[in-house]
């Protein structure tokens, strides 16, 4: 017999034959003894192994030979090559726990260059990961809405972009506030109020010497129409509230008001202000303030109680309606008019304009000596069974005296 490699090579056909040794099998109906040499067709071997299957489907072993596996390949209408696993629930990568070299992952490559992968760290970290080897970030989306969210990992523009709405019922920051309570932010949409609720504390913070004020702004469409800011530069404006008119909504006007009767004052003040009033421990200066009612302009108008422990200074006028002005150890100075309507005033009043009262002006006694400073001052006093109304008047080139205008006895 010739050496096997000396025979010519041909493409086999199903009708071609090959030599086999027929083995003895006691379970056969008619066992063949002696292991004789026989020939069989290649097609018979294929039938024995079960090679008939579905086109483009990867075969797999079974106890009776080969059969179709759930994995097949195809080319879609759009020309995309796909591999499909039919009627399966999970695609599993299982790795022994004792082997930690390399992480188990699904990897996408292009021309043998790694591009993106999804895997699990098995050498101590224990975290799952998405990794873009090309550094282009990630996009999440759906048909007709792509991308809905973008995670950029490009150096210099890192960040997360949400194209439409972000629905977050509640955010817990996982740390305690100054008062030792958890800080959370949650949305409010109960039909009465719509907005964001901050539990415990809401803080606006900035780095030392960073540009810009500490601020919170209000936006209508694309317009900034108001805000609150704490000025931290050389202009020293303090805490400022402001409103700007809107070019698209005439109902947004330059006005800051207190919607309901409130008490405004220092939380550390030892003397509380009157209910629904204004408590000031320093001074109040009113100038060029547009009036919302009444006949005066550029003035301070109060329709609640006004309580001061300092100076009230108005460049035009002061109107008090159905309320009181109380000044303890301070002065009220105005270059305009003081108009009182059904209210009271107590303290020291200095006015270069008119003093008008719709109810009355009550005077008391004073121990001040007659002088040019007190010229024109009136006082009411009682002594024994007598009452007096006196006026400080000039009596000479440089002399002044209290002159009795009216006296009554009983």
Q: Do residues 366 and 377 make contact, with C-beta atoms less than 8 angstroms apart?
A: yes
**pTM exceeding 0.95:** no
* Average pLDDT taken over every residue of the chain: 77
The tens digit of pLDDT for each residue in 378-393 reads 999 999 999 999 999 9
What is the distance between the alpha carbons of residues 338 and 350, in angstroms, rounded to a whole number?
Answer: 10
Beta carbons within 10 angstroms of residue 140's beta carbon: 13
pLDDT band at 301 (very low <50, low <70, confident <90, very high): low
Mean pLDDT, residues 253-267 taken together: 69
Condensed to tens digits (0 to 9), the pLDDT of residues 303-362 reads 555 655 555 655 556 655 555 565 554 556 555 555 554 555 555 666 666 666 666 778
Q: pLDDT tens digits, residue range 43-58?
A: 777 676 665 678 888 8
C-beta of residue 294 within 8 angstroms of C-beta of residue 301: yes
- Full DSSP string of 280-347: ESS-EEE-SPPPSSSS--SSEEESSEEEESS-EEESSEEEEESSEEEEEEEEEEESSEEEEES-EEEE
Integer CA distances (angstroms), 187 to 197, 203, 217, 364, in order: 6, 17, 19, 59
3-state secondary structure of 85: strand
Question: Mapping DSSP to helix (H, G, I), strand (E, B) and coil, where does residue 173 land?
Answer: strand
**Most confident stretch, 107-116, 257-266, 282-291:** 107-116
Q: Comparing 34-48, 137-151, 207-221, 271-285, which segment has the lowest mean pLDDT?
A: 271-285
Whether the Cβ atoms of residue 117 and residue 106 lie closer than 8 Å to each other: yes
Find the range with the poorest average confidence among 157-161, 250-254, 298-302. 298-302
- Looking at residue 406, its pLDDT comes to 95
């Amino acid at each position: 017999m010739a050496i096997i490699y000396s025979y010519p090579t041909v493409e086999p056909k199903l009708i071609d034959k090959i030599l086999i040794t027929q083995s003895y099998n006691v379970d056969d109906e008619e066992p063949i003894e002696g292991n004789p040499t026989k020939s069989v067709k290649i097609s018979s071997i294929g039938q024995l192994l079960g090679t008939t299957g579905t086109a483009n489907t990867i075969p797999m072993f079974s106890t009776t030979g080969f059969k179709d596996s759930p994995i097949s390949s195809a080319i879609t209408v759009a020309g995309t090559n796909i591999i499909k696993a039919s009627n399966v629930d999970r695609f599993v990568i299982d790795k022994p726990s004792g082997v930690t070299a390399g992480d188990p992952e699904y990897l996408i490559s292009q021309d043998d260059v790694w591009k993106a992968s999804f895997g699990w760290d098995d050498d101590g970290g224990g975290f799952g990961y998405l990794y873009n080897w090309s550094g282009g970030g990630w996009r999440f989306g759906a048909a007709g809405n792509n991308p809905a969210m973008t995670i950029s990992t490009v150096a210099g523009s890192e960040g997360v972009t949400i194209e439409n709405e972000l629905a977050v019922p509640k955010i817990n920051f996982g740390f305690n506030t100054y008062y030792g309570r958890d800080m959370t932010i949650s949305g409010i949409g109960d039909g009465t109020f719509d907005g964001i609720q901050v539990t415990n504390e809401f803080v606006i913070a900035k780095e030392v010497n960073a540009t810009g004020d500490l601020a919170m702004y209000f936006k209508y469409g694309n317009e900034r129409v108001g805000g609150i800011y704490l000025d931290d530069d050389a202009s020293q404006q303090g805490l400022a509230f402001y409103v700007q008119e809107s070019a698209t909504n005439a109902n947004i006007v330059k006005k800051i008001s207190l919607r309901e009767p409130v008490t405004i004052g220092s939380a550390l003040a030892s003397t509380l202000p009157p209910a629904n009033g204004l408590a000031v421990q320093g001074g109040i200066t009113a100038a060029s303030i547009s009036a919302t009612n009444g006949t005066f302009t550029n003035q301070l108008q109060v329709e609640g109680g006004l309580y001061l422990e300092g100076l009230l200074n108005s460049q035009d006028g002061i109107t008090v309606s159905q309320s009181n002005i109380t000044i303890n150890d301070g002065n009220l100075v105005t270059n305009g008019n003081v108009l009182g309507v059904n209210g009271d005033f107590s303290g020291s009043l200095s006015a270069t304009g008119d003093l008008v009262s719709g109810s009355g002006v009550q005077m008391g006694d004073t121990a001040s000596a007659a002088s040019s400073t007190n010229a024109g001052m009136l006082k009411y006093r009682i002594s024994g069974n007598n009452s007096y109304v006196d006026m400080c008047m000039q009596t000479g080139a440089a002399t002044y005296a209290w002159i009795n205008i009216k006296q009554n006895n009983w």
